[in-house]
Structures are given as C-alpha cells and as structure tokens.
Amino acid sequence: MYKFQLYKNTGRGIYIGAIDAITKAYIRKNEVFADAFNYFMYDGRQKIQPEQLRELDSTEIAILLNEKDTKDKTNKEKEASEQKMVQKYRDLLKTATIMEDGEATYVLLGIENQTEVHYAMPVRNMLYDAMQYNQQVTEIAEKHKGKKGGKRQQKISTGEFLSGFYKNNKLIPVITLVLFFNPGEWDGPRSLFDMLDISNPIFKKYAQDYKIHIISPKEILESDLKKFSSSLREVIGCIKYSNDKNKLAAFIQDNPRMNIEVEAARVLEVITHTHIKREEVDDMGNVNMCKAIQEMIQDGRDEGRVQLLVTLIQSGDISLQRAAALMNMTPEEFQEKSKMIS
C-alpha cells in the first residue's frame, strides 16, 4: 500500500527535512541519477549507465588545523588542540565507470538537491569536493604506509615520504551537480567570484574561482526536456510549469508518459502541492499524474471562484445560500472551503 501526504501540512508547509528526504529518495534511484548527469554532461546521450553506478558513503571528513599556541602542552594535548575533525554530509555520492574513446574512465559523481536557493552554494560544493580529494590523498598515503614492511619497497624521494603522496599518484575526478527542485529563478551565486568582494584586477587575476553546475527547471527549454530519458523529464517539466496552469495543462496533455513511479510522484506532490489520491496509484506502484494534476488545476479554478463569491457575499451582492448553490455545495461546505482558502 502506497501512502501519500505522509507529513502533515500545519499551515507552515511541509517540513524542509521531509521534502529533502523525498527528493533524495527519488534521485538515489540509479536511472534518475544517471539521467541527470547524461543530460547535463552529454546532452542526453546515454553515456553513464545506471548499472555502472555504485553509491558511496556521503560523509566527508576533513582535519582542520588550529593555530593556537601549544608551546607548553604535551604532545597529546598539542595533537588534540591542533586538529579539529569536521564532518559534512553530501546528499548523494556515487562512483561511475564511463567508456570514453574505448577506454574506461573512473569518476565520482555527487548530487546536491535544493528546493530553495542556497546563497553560499559555491563554497559548500567546493568544500565537499576538496574534502573528497583530501580523503583520496589520505587513503593513498595510508596504502603506501601499509606497504612499507614489504620486501620490494619502492625507492621514494623525501618529498614523497613527507607528503605520503607519490609523484605518479593520481586522484579520481569529482563532479558535483545541483538539482534545483523549484519553479523559480536560481538568483544565487554560480561561482566563488560571484561571492567575493573583489574589484582589483590583480586580485581577480590570482584569486582562485570555483563554479557550480546546476539543473534549474526554469532555465530548461521545452525542447530540451526530451533529452531526459527517465521520469526526471516529467518531474522537471511539471515543476517548470507549476506556476502557469495553462502551460502545465498543455504539457501533461502533450506528454504520453505521465504514468510515473511513486518516488517521482511524491516529489511532485510536495513541490507542486498536487494532492494524490490512493486510487490513483496502480498495482505496480505507478501514479497517473495526468489525472492528479488536472484535478489540481480544477481545484485552483474552484478556489478562484470561491474567493470571488466570498467577496460578493461580504459586499451584500449575494447570499451564502446562493453562493453555495453556484458551487454545488451546502452552505456548511462552502464556509469550510472558504476558511481553507483564507
């Protein structure tokens, strides 16, 4: 049995944590995760295969140095004061093996789900990526350390010994993508430079920049929606047009694939406020979003009519009984409906 409206709307909206959990459960699906990157990196070509993805622990750990004076402290006290453990949690991180020019390329792919604009996103993603690279360096150094007792020990330089990272060692590239589950504009920074108070051309020349990669429904052309192969096409499309009922109606009428899996339907339910009834979920766990969204559009029209009738009642131009009859409701039902709208 599939149950919707799991999180009670108290008037303040569904809790952000609940929405994040729903979007994360959806994007965790390999076919959706791969589809997002295939759209963004390969213009919709199916280069990343869902079966080649493997999820990793998304906890990133870094050691930050503390520069406090430790002159009079013991070695253990120094170590405790000089190092501070920092943990950060990505939404999702997966490994992928991609075939490029007949060769297999190994890459780490991360996705950050956002339902609201994060005005420090470049710094946040930069930290995630840097911590992942730091973790790779640490793991390589630990691997070298474990081999020191072997008979055939590679001759290394002083620099390699001190860093624990050898001259010929290479890191696995990390690519992070932001998915913006919102019909509005991403008006936040898209690069570190966008966040810096920097006008001096010399400083700008030498300060390092970091850019974010983002999929924002509002920025996607309608013709480009077909480049998505999974239900992400329907999810992005419905979010894109959720503030325009006429365009939304046209989108679902022209789209024959509106029978989508329950995880995708949950995302649309919480983002577009589309109420999904249990009878709209079939035995396979799929939801007929076409019917659900059409009902949402009709509900919106009904709300507009109720608001108009309430205004006429207040001005004395129409009675409560007459307004209720026009909406095919009892006076009690009309009053309850008007309270819900207000």
Give 251-268 as a 3 state SS string: HHHHCCCCEEEHHHHHHH
Choose between 95 and 338: higher pLDDT.
95
For 50-62, the pLDDT digits (tens) are: 999 999 886 665 5
* Tens digits of residue pLDDT in 308-319: 777 777 877 678
Q: Which of 263, 270, 239 is nearest to 18 (CA)?
A: 270
pLDDT of 211 > 80? The answer is yes
- Mean local confidence (pLDDT), 177-187: 97
Hunting for tokens 């999929």 — which residue is that?
A: 215
Residue 192 pLDDT class (50, 70, 90 cuts): very high
Question: Is 309 domain-assigned?
Answer: no
Which pLDDT band, with edges at 50, 70 and 90, does 13 fall under?
very low
* 266 domain residue, yes or no: yes
Do the bridges between strand 174-180 and strand 213-215 make them parallel or antiparallel, or are there none, so unpaired? parallel
pLDDT number for residue 81: 47
Residue 5 has pLDDT above 80, yes or no: no
Q: Are 182 and 116 in contact (CB under 8 A)?
A: yes
- Give domain status of residue 26, yes or no: yes
Q: Does residue 40 contact residue 215 with C-beta atoms inside 8 Å?
A: yes
1: pLDDT strictly greater than 70 = no
Q: What is the mean pLDDT of residues 112-125?
A: 96
In a domain, 116, yes or no: yes
Asked if residues 225 and 255 have their Cβ atoms less than 8 Å apart, the reply is no
Residue 68, pLDDT above cutoff 70: no
102-111, 166-175, 266-275: least confidently modelled range? 266-275
Domain membership of residue 4 (yes or no) is no
Rounded CA-CA distance 148/144 in Å is: 7
Is the model's pLDDT at 139 over the cut of 60?
Answer: yes
Domain that holds residue 86: 16-146+158-299
Residue 310: how many other CB atoms lie within 10 Å: 19
pLDDT at 22 over 60: yes
- 206 part of a folded domain: yes
User: What are the pLDDT digits (tens) for 221-256?
Assistant: 999 999 999 999 999 999 999 888 888 888 887 777
Q: Chain-wide mean pLDDT for the chain?
A: 82
At 101, the pLDDT band (50, 70, 90 cuts) reads confident
pLDDT in the model for residue 127 = 94
Does 331 map to a domain? no
More confident residue, 98 or 283: 98
Which is more confidently placed, 30 or 62? 30
Task: Please indicate, yes or no, if residue 151 is contained in any of the structural domains.
Answer: no
Answer yes or no: is pLDDT of 69 > 50: no
Least confident stretch, 231-235, 286-290, 295-299, 337-341: 295-299
Q: How many CB atoms lie within 10 A of CB 242?
A: 22
pLDDT(8) > 60:
no
Rounded to an integer, what distance in angstroms lies between the CA atom of residue 273 and that of residue 13? Answer: 10
Q: How many domains does the chain have?
A: 1
